[in-house]
Structure 1
């Protein structure tokens, strides 16, 4: 009995170990995920470090290959075949002896290949050595400063600074995106400008990370508030699918200001203007001073004098056009609704809650000045249009019954009055 209990305990312990291994492996993959390459690995650029998996291939006078990896000491083993032993399936499996271990950490893939070629030349003549990267290491990168969840995160050698910052939730509303410091080996390695990278795609402004890097996101030195009829960026985006009320048609956000930037630059940072922006009524609020700005002229010609330079603390205001569309008559909620470009008559009737039971949709029309357009054509609505949904003259037996009831009531009242007066 004790023997079975002992075996049961061993079996349970084995199961728990396997389960823990599976869970940990799943968590490890969830931390970083399967890395996606933006381009093939360039052997002159990829730097080898402990944790990388490699395939060493020898061709020429001898032909063999073996899988290996860079040890925690930063070394790679030099293996040589000594014999082949048969497996249970009758397949001969080569056996290797480790004859040396050489340091290659910090070398590029190409430099490591050249170093291995020199080592193998001591043992064989007329051979070629190739080194293939099979798997990339994962490592910690530290992200601090104005980010939503500062701390350490897992990364791969093909991850750029922007990807690592995303994993900690992105920058805060006051975090700089143009003066990010990438520190390597306790020194400033590069100042990262994510705005330049996003605008022009210059990869030098968004470098790859390496083992033990520290990313510091400072506060913005200067900023401008952009508010009004703009689409917004960096968490200030409009919910375009829910533009049913005036407050949802505007965005207000804090954007970083770089020396020399003008109105057009900040409009671009804020996602551009909406179709309902009143371009001729824009202005910059600078303290108690209001500076009128013709945005229509600026967007047509950025070199225009109207495209003034901005200062720290400015508020750039883009008003909305005060345009509404009226839906009147037999709808659930008749009244004015904010004009939205490219919406049709049926869309506005839907915003008004839809037609009532007694509505005559066949007789509904759009009033555009003195012109009437049938709603059944479902035209695209323009600013100032009125949508009229009339009531049906007769709605089958309900209306006839109602009219009959009124006539009968009047007749009874008349007969009663006549009888009383006699």
Structure 2
């Protein structure tokens, strides 16, 4: 190649931001060549710009790759840097993908790169250089992946922009945003592009089953949205990972068993049952043959029970009655405590009296033992009251009475029907109103445990509470005055009698 052509090519490389792999020459202010040294030295990592257009993205520290970059699937974008080797000439140089998506290749000129896989780019590069380097072996390798910003939004700990380095997968971007928050879904995470959902990510399948196909790589222009968690089911008994699992639409009992790690060696798949909540709130226990696992669609609240073949047919059950959200027989795993059992039957509703619940247990002699339990404390995280359940136990969660008691200075003391949100004055009116001596603005209200609070006609009253209407202050002082006058009259009369007798 003529000297002036090589110098011109070098000048073009300098203008377009393409540098040679001879950093020592550049440091010594020597003229860089279009084809540099034979040893490729990676450049230092670029510093973050202080005037970034996207202010405040989460900055990630350098990381290792979770696996080698696949040249067939890695999609090139602006900022990617490649090293090119020409053999046997011993020529090597570096190319950076420009913002327009192209690279400026010595001799070949501009070549499209963005949007292509590495393999596709290699083919385009070889076509461009073939006429200038006949018989040469042309190698092209990704040397330094680009960085870009994606937004991670929804139910994550710290939603907002995250700066990532390709190749970067969805789970890593979510981890950089602090992880999925407690109300968020791990199974229907959305990848959005141009305002449309282009894919969904299932982190549970990734973590439980190692399915990397559900964890794609990210590229520019994409964002991640974590929606709220959807319906959930429970699997208990002889599976490796018993517990609750979020389910996606269309999943079956077979999918749930798979997420739970499959059957243990002691499982009896031929005698499984499905606990399902009916519209009435009661539990329906259905036989679940193994042959129907793949066709049994799951519903919110379902519980799949896999019994132990060593103990069947003597399966242990606990019965829940009186309220609490689920009534009926529920399978009991060996050694299960009230705390671990609680999420399977309690549905937090304010018409059940969790604090006055009890366990009814039959003793060997036939007598009944009643164990009081405050389920409200367990719900708040206090496990000190948890007890080990036994087969045949009955958990009784009483329903709060739909009445309010009105007593004291009213026309018709007694029970009145509870209506959510009504103030005390309305309940007093339902009891005939205050008596002539009663004060509607001087009340005491007691809850079902005897706790007292002061109130007036506008105080909100809750189910099962008692309203005490007190006497008006004027009436009280009037009675005191009348009593004082009566006592004074009696004293004067006695004094007059005593004086008359003394004379």
Normalised by the length of structure 1, the TM-score is 0.48
Which structure is larger by alpha-carbon Rg, 1 or 2? 2
Higher helix share: 1
Q: Which of structures 1 and 2 has the larger relative contact order (alpha carbons within 8 angstroms, sep 6+)?
A: 1
Normalised by the length of structure 2, the TM-score is 0.41
